[in-house]
A = this chain, B = another copy of it.
Amino acid sequence: MRKVLLAFSFIWCLALAGVAQAQAPEAAAPPPAAAPAAAAPAAAPVPITDADIKGVASPKAEDRAQGDPAGTLTGTSADIPVGDAKVGMTVGDVVSLVGQHQIAINFVWTLVTGFLVMFMQAGFAIVETGLARAKNANHTMMMNFMVYGVGMLAYWLIGFSIQEGGVGAVANLGGTAPLNGEFAIHLFGKDWGLFGTKGIMLGGATYDVGVMVMFLFQMVFMDTALTIVTGTAAERWKYSAFIISSFIMGAFTYPLFGNWAWGGGWLATLGSNYGLGHGYADFAGSGVVHSIGGVTALAMAIIIGPRIGKFRRDGTPNAIPGHDIVLVLLGCFILAFGWFGFNPGSTLGASANGNLRISSVAVNTMLAGMAGSFSSMYYMWMRYGKPDASMTGNGFLAGLVAITAPSGFVNPMASVIIGLIAGVLCALSCEFVERKLKLDDVVGAISVHGTNGLFGVIAVGLFADGKSNYGGSWNGVPGSVTGLFYGDAGQLVAQLIGVATLLGFVFTMSFVLNAVLEAVWGHRVTAKVELAGLDIPEMGALGYPEFALKPEPVLAD
């Protein structure tokens, strides 16, 4: 107990240091970007003349054919597409290409980071499978594999439309203008956006290059939320029920909250409508992605019940160790790699509008993950005498989850503090879920994603330092997101409304939908199947048909 207190004291001191730093008088806000030149009186058109271009830029064709090892003859004015070859290059050609570059850079950034997020599915798959038992390896992998497809199908059919169908033209992507339908009700004198309506199956006008970027990036985020649930309910979830449940979540549960937070819905407009900071601010989805996954996992854990043998007759838990720690930690690395897409990519762009802050987002992300792995490892070491690998991995992920919402708004020191808190919070929450709530969460997803997702949402309202820019406003409110420690209590209120919505609405919706599914279809395999392992009865093949396994240990009763 003394050691726990010591550990907390350590974190507390760091937190105080952070607050002290936070409360120091602020330097003046950064100057606004690029005030324009004084307007000149109307001038004649400005063609670019031969003299301008030829004097400086293009290497001769015969030189190029000799090769350019240094790269100094490649990429010159000769590479600017000319609209009309007879006229030659004009100011219009150059200016058009500069505009194209603005969007191309942002496309490249958002697509590449989206690819990284997609790869997180592989990380989740092997973390969850590694933490399950060998007799369920095929089943756990298949849930994690098909959750990618099930979610994508649901999202393509309807989910994307609900979430982003009314988001409007996103400037960083050159406009996603066809996404222009948001269903809203008028309440308390303001519009409350409820869901979007455009973009079903990416047909009609939404067959658009900007919309496609948006779909890809939002789709992989949604899929991340879905895969969280499979970890909690592993080793006993009927495969068919998993498919139906995941489809519903990808089609409705996730997109609804997603719309409210990111698609122009009512949470996003709490700032512009009611003056609560910048409205609910969730940079990359501690709330939208991880909390939704976590509270749905909580609902599933309640409905599906614990694995046979997890709890003794007296209610105390048995430890059921995962079968492959190498898979678990390799998966954590894959997740951390993908998180460099998750958070920094959430700007949806790299150029202009303050988007260069992607570097700060990336550094915050890795610092928080590091801090989370340390504090959870240290906590376990002090409390149980060993630096537990599973919990260290989970603390690492908890730090990443917790920094996801604030990553765009806080500084490195705050990121470390958030990570340190997250790691310990993860370990405490795991104990609470198992010992007090008597729930069986195979991988600890409720704690990693649920508890720390909510903590991340709150952390924005505390630690946001008002130094970010993002085009000079956020959620339509001019200025920068600022938390309580830097003077804006309203932001914290907006965040707490988000937390209340996640716990009140999303949890309830998930619980009801999955309870109905339990009644009409049934979530759980039979006891016989569970004891034998789900691989043969559910999937028709073992995960490891050739490896000899030790006799299963007898769990205390």
Contact = CB atoms under 8 A, between A and B. Distances in A.
Given A30-B72, A36-B90, A201 B413 contact: yes
A97 B87 contact: no
Contacts of A209: 68-71, 74, 356-357, 359-360
A557 to B, nearest CB: 20
Interface in A31-77: 31-40, 42-53, 55-57, 59, 61, 63-77
A341 B119 CA distance: 13
B174 A79 contact: yes
A351 interface: yes
Interface string A358-391: 1110110011011101100100000011111110
Contacts of A59: 31
Given A36-B83, A40-B44, A216-B359, A354 B70 contact: yes
Given A40-B45, A69-B207, A116-B115, A98 B88 contact: no
Contacts of A362: 111, 114-115, 212, 216
Interface string A150-169: 00110010000000000001
A51 B57 contact: no
Contacts of A385: 540
Given A216-B362, A548-B550, A541 B72 contact: no
A83 B152 CA distance: 40
Contact of A56 (B34, B67, B112): B34
B145 A81 contact: no
A39 B87 contact: yes
Nearest to A151: B370
- Say whether chain A's binding surface is mostly helix, strand, loop, or mixed: helix
Given A212-B359, A386-B540, A205 B95 contact: no
A344 B209 CA distance: 13
A197 interface: no
Contacts of A103: 74-75, 79, 356
Most buried by B among A91, A169, A416, A550: A91
Contact of A75 (B66, B104, B546): B104
Nearest to A384: B540
B326 A327 contact: yes
Interface in A514-557: 538-550
Given A55-B38, A122-B333, A411-B69, A142 B544 contact: no
A75 B134 CA distance: 51
A100 B173 CA distance: 16
A309 to B, nearest CB: 15
Contacts of A216: 359, 362-363, 366
Interface residues of A, number: 194
A99 B80 contact: yes
A88 B539 contact: no
Nearest to A130: B326
A326 B137 CA distance: 7
Nearest to A66: B205
A340 B118 contact: yes
Nearest to A60: B31
A105 interface: yes
Contacts of A51: 37, 44-45
Nearest to A141: B329
Contact of A94 (B63, B95, B107, B355): B95
A325 interface: yes
Contacts of A369: 149
Contact of A340 (B74, B115, B323, B359): B115
A40 B122 CA distance: 57
A502 interface: no
Given A92-B53, A174-B79, A153 B370 contact: yes
A350 interface: yes
B138 A389 contact: yes
Contact of A50 (B27, B31, B42, B137): B42
Closest 7 CB pairs of A and B: A36-B83, A386-B540, A71-B356, A56-B92, A75-B103, A104-B351, A122-B333
